[in-house]
Amino acid sequence: MSSPKLQLLKLWVGRLWLFSPERLWLASIALHRRGHWVLAFWVKQLNSLVYHNSLAAGASVSPDIRLGHNSIGIVVNSEVEIGRRVKIWQNVTLSAGRPLH
């Protein structure tokens, strides 16, 4: 493979990585934390449209999160905290709330 073709392939793969469901979710979380709620909402909507998930921008997530099967059907509430080295498979719902008294 010639050098320009290899560079083009690397660029294409890099773009796919940028638009992975994990990257879009982490971007929406970062935007939400910085006060850019509208932009965070639209990044979340793009993620939902492309990957058929519902990943809240208000969730607390480790940067090494992995979503199996392109995160199809995954639903995460904004109150959830996800630690390091976690992989979530398809059709999983995570929610958190206040304890009942």
Each residue's pLDDT tens digit, 56-95 = 999 999 999 999 988 999 999 999 999 999 999 999 999 9
In this predicted structure, the answer to whether residue 10 has a pLDDT above a threshold of 80 is no
Cα–Cα distance measured from residue 82 to residue 60, given in angstroms and rounded to the nearest whole number = 6
Please say whether the beta carbons of 38 and 2 come within 8 A.
Answer: no
In this predicted structure, the answer to whether residue 1 has a pLDDT above a threshold of 60 is no
Burial class (CB in 10 A: 0-12, 13-18, 19+), 24: buried
Q: Domains of the chain: which residue ranges?
A: 20-94
In this predicted structure, the answer to whether residue 16 has a pLDDT above a threshold of 90 is no
pLDDT at 19: 83
Q: How far is CA 3 from the centre of its chain?
A: 32
What average pLDDT does range 12-40 have in this prediction?
88
